[in-house]
Structure formats: C-alpha cells, structure tokens
Structure 1
Amino acid sequence: MERLQKILAGAGVASRRKCEELIQSGRVQVNGETVTELGTKADPAADVITVDGKTVGAQKKMYIVFNKPKGVITSASDPQGRKIVTDYLKGINERLYPVGRLDYDTEGLLLLTNDGEFAHLLTHPKHHVAKTYLATVKGVPHGTALDKLKNGIMLEDGMTAPAEVEYYDIDPEEKHATISITIYEGRNRQVRRMFEAIQHPVTKLKRISFGDLYLGNLKRGLYRHLTKEEVEGLIKLARTAGKPGNRPTPKKDK
C-alpha cells in the first residue's frame, strides 16, 4: 500500500504537489469512490485508480538531460507560441516535465522526467542539491564582491545561503568576466539577482551541472537518457542532503 499522491506521481500524472491538488479537488477516484483526503493509501496492483475518469496505469519511468538553448521556455506549453523544451524531445511519446526551471534567457543543463517523486526529491529546498552555473557578467568583480556572494547576500526575498564562487575566465581588457557559481537553493532568477546585487549584471548564463551530473559535451538543443547509475546517484545525493564545500572545480568546455 502506498500513498495515493505517490502512486499518481510515480505514474507520471503530474508532480507530487500537483497530484495532491488533484486529490483535494475531488478529481481522483479509487475503485469508483472519490478520494479527497491526503495520505489515503491504495494498492496500485489491485485497486482501480482514475483521474478525471481516466485509469492510471503503470508507466515506464524516464529521465532525460537536455541542453536547453537560450530563448526556450521551460514549460509544457506557451500561450505566446514560443519554443518550449518539449519541442526538442523528438521520438519521445511520454509526457515529461522539467525538474525545476531555467529562465528564458538561460541555457544549459535541464532535467526532465515523468517520475514525480524523483522531481520532488531533487527540487525540495531541504535537500540542498547543488547547481553550478557559468555566469558572464559586465566588468570584473573584485574579490570582496565575490566574497559577498560566498557568504550570502541580501535580496528582496531574504538572505541567500552561502555559495561557492570563483573566477573562471577574465577578458584581457577587463570588460567582462565569467564566474563559476554553485548555489544550493532554487529561487526565481537567483543567480542573476545575486550578481545584480553586487553591480555586475549577467549577460550570459549557463547551467553546467545539477548535483553530480555534468552537461559535458552534450550539444545545445540535444538530449540523452540518464543511465541507471546517474539516476541512483542523484537520488542518493538528494537523500543525503549535499552540503557546501564538496564541489570540484568545473572543467572548461572544449
């Protein structure tokens, strides 16, 4: 027996939080009876579970790493008709959804899955899963400015957690610099806002790792399936609540 929201998320219906909303709104039935109480348990092998009248069956779990280009929406749809990440998932018929987000102007590593429990585990704030970015900024921030980011800096939604920050590349004329920054939170546009706070706005932003998973040589606009070992590694990392201070220096792209 498992909690109903866990069964629904595991079947790829939606994220666990969204599945909880479906239950509370009376859209889920177990053996013909509407269930609205969170925590209700069911047996996916014996019970008939439906959402809006459609039977929920076992679904093969899928895990994708995608190199998102700039100018693509991290969403399953866009009313303005702009490119969305699933436009690039040719040959995949499963309904996948992003694990977290990358904003419209940010490129790089994005995970997609139909495993709601996996997505919830990696994005829950208490798990502190590291995400590393290369941020190209205007000018060259002094070490004291970077120290502010390392120690935590005040934004409009509160103080950030300590980050790992170091120089990655500096323009000889010092018109811009690329900084490697690893954060353990997932606030909206957080990296951009952190650099704006030290007066060095971001002109280009690329995520190169999520936990211990690196983008590597995956070309922009392409995807690949995660290996079983990679999936298990991310789950283990999230469950052990990764802590700052254990990240390797990111390798430069070739």
Structure 2
Amino acid sequence: MRLDKFLSESSVGRRKNVRNYIKEGMVKVNGEVIIEPAIEINEKSDVIEYLGKVVVYTGKVYYMFNKPAGYITARRDKVNKTVFDFFDDVNMNGVFHVGRLDKDTEGLLLFTNDGEFEHKLMYPEKHVEKTYFFWALGSLDEEDRKQLEQGIYIGKGQILTKPAKIEVQKCGMYKELKNEMSIENLSNIDSNQYNQPVISGYLTISEGRKHQVKRMLKAVGCYVVYLKRVSIGGLRLDESLEKGQYRLLTDVEIKKLFEKL
C-alpha cells in the first residue's frame, strides 16, 4: 500500500494533506524519515510514525449522520457550532463531510476518509440523486411541477437545472396543516395569518448547486420553511437515528452505494 494512502485511511489527514506531511519529514517508516508519498509499505508489518506517534491502520470509514438544524457543515467555525462537534468520542482526523447541508437544513450527511468515494458521490456527471423533504409557503400547480421536472432557471446567467422529480404530499391552508408540520422553528410563518397556503413534498435532484432546492421552489413561487435531506444515491437516512446521532454504514449499504457509483 502507498504510504500516503495508508495515512489517509488511518485518520491522519486527507490524501493531499498527508502528502505534504510526508514531504516535510513528519513521517517515519521503521524509524527512517521518508519524504516520498508514493513509497510502498506493508501495513501489516511496517511501523509507521507521524510526529513521533505510531499510526494504527483503521481502514476506510463511512458514517451516516442525522444533522440537526443550526449547525454549520464545516470542521470548525469561529462563531457557530459545527457538525463535527457531535463526534467527540471518535477520531475524526482525516475524516471529512461528503458535500454539505445548509445551516438550517436537517437530515442525511455522510462522512468518510475515502477521497475517491467523496469525489464520485459529488461528481456532477455521476447524476447521483439526492432527495429532500420540504414544507413551503405557497402552492404548486401542474405547470409548476412540469417546470421543476424538466428544468428551471434559478439564477441570472445560469443554465437550466437538470431534470428533477417532485412528489407532493400535503397541500392546503396553514390553519389546517400547522399541527402536521411538527417543525420546531416556524418563525417564517405568521401564525396570526392562518389563510396562507402551505405545501409539503419530496424533491429529488442530481446536482449540488448552492441552496438549489430552496431556489428551485422559490422560482415557482414557494418559500421553503423546512428542509430535510432523506436520501443520497438510494441510501436513506436511518430514522432511528435521532438528530445529532451517527453510525457507521453497514457493509450492505456501502456495497449498494458503490454499485450506484
């Protein structure tokens, strides 16, 4: 196995970072400083040290996380709490989030130390589908749905979005559906104005433009007040995970994801 691969899969850092660590003389193999990232090592018998500490090979890891609203998808932030604050009991060095979710968006977020997996899952040409559940102010008629499904402009100078799938679940007036919404923060809705239409449903996209779901729905007159990602590439969020909880993906889940890729 290549030395840089060994280190990246042992939670030392991402592949591009560990290459720099090696070149800067921070890594030893069997007591000798090695500065060549591509050198082949035996992960079972060679002793690898990083900054004087023996590195234990952990292999590739894949975590499913149920992100709560209010947290930044980043390793650290000067102002806000981040999704990494929930991983206190595991070594997350070299593990990174796959894609991102907005601060106020909940749901499925993946973490891994497998850079190739991240690249394939997020690569636009792979057309990996991501499904979101939403509640929004507004309504959708047949023409609106057709636009979402065939592609819609969501920004000046931008090309059409790729074809999407829309499945409406509930539609009606806020006064009739407010008890079904079960959303912790409804500050976007004036509870004194019950006669405003609301709608819920699932939107499936195969891109990752900034705020894409919100912008697509806004383009057809709907203002999102709640958003939750429920699946990526056919992998559904484990609803037994409470917000802020995580678990390793099962071998079956990993296999299905790689088959998609």
For the residue of structure 2 that corresponds to 1:109, the secondary structure is: strand
2 CA distance for matches of 1:54 and 1:124? 35
Contact 2:11 2:91 in 1 (8 A): no
State the TM-score, normalized to the length of structure 1: 0.76
2 CA distance for matches of 1:59 and 1:65? 18
Structure 2: unaligned runs, 5 residues or longer? 175-195
- Residue in structure 2 matched with residue 227 of structure 1 by the alignment: 250
- Residue in structure 2 matched with residue 196 of structure 1 by the alignment: 218
1 CA distance for matches of 2:91 and 2:11? 12
2 CA distance for matches of 1:152 and 1:44? 49
1 CA distance for matches of 2:126 and 2:21? 26
- Residue in structure 2 matched with residue 10 of structure 1 by the alignment: 9
For the residue of structure 1 that corresponds to 2:166, the secondary structure is: strand
Residues 90-109 of structure 1 mapped to structure 2, 5 A cutoff = 90-95=88-93, 96-109=95-108
State the TM-score, normalized to the length of structure 2: 0.75
User: Larger radius of gyration, structure 1 or 2?
Assistant: 2
**Percent identity between the two aligned chains:** 38
Shift of 1:77: 0.6
Summarize the Cα distance change of 1:58–1:140 in structure 2 as closer, same or farther, 3 Å threshold: same
2 CA distance for matches of 1:53 and 1:90? 23
| CA root-mean-square deviation | 3.0
Q: Per-residue displacement from partner, 1:68-104 (whole Å, max 9, x unpaired)?
A: 1110111111111x22112222422343321110010
Summarize the Cα distance change of 1:33–1:195 in structure 2 as closer, same or farther, 3 Å threshold: same
2 CA distance for matches of 1:13 and 1:160? 38
Shift of 1:141: 1.6
Residues 75-224 of structure 1 mapped to structure 2, 5 A cutoff = 75-80=74-79, 82-95=80-93, 96-156=95-155, 157-172=158-173, 175-217=197-239, 218-224=241-247
2:42 to 42, 45, 51: 45
1 CA distance for matches of 2:69 and 2:144? 27
Number of aligned residues: 230
